[in-house]
Structure 1
Amino acid sequence: MAKKGTPKNGKNKAKHTMLLKRKKDKLRDEKETRAQKLKAILKSTQDNN
């Protein structure tokens, strides 16, 4: 029979998941902004030529 009450490390797992999600979102946002900056630079160089 399962134990009653709170899970042993449920809070730690939840916190860890939250932090990993935050990290992945930050990396995704940085990647998108970098791609947009590169596109803008390429577009400006093509316009000048």
Structure 2
Amino acid sequence: METTKKAQMIMTWILRWYTVTDFDLTIIWHLLTLQMPHLSSQVPLHPR
């Protein structure tokens, strides 16, 4: 599915540029999980 591919690209980009703050990560994570709830079962909550 196109949406899942885009989500994986976003997650890869976030992990690659892990300079964003935890607050930003939390917001991005919630936005992703709100749009695609099935992601939460595949990707564990970011550590910490």
TM-score, normalising length: structure 1: 0.37
Larger radius of gyration: 1
TM-score, normalising length: structure 2: 0.38
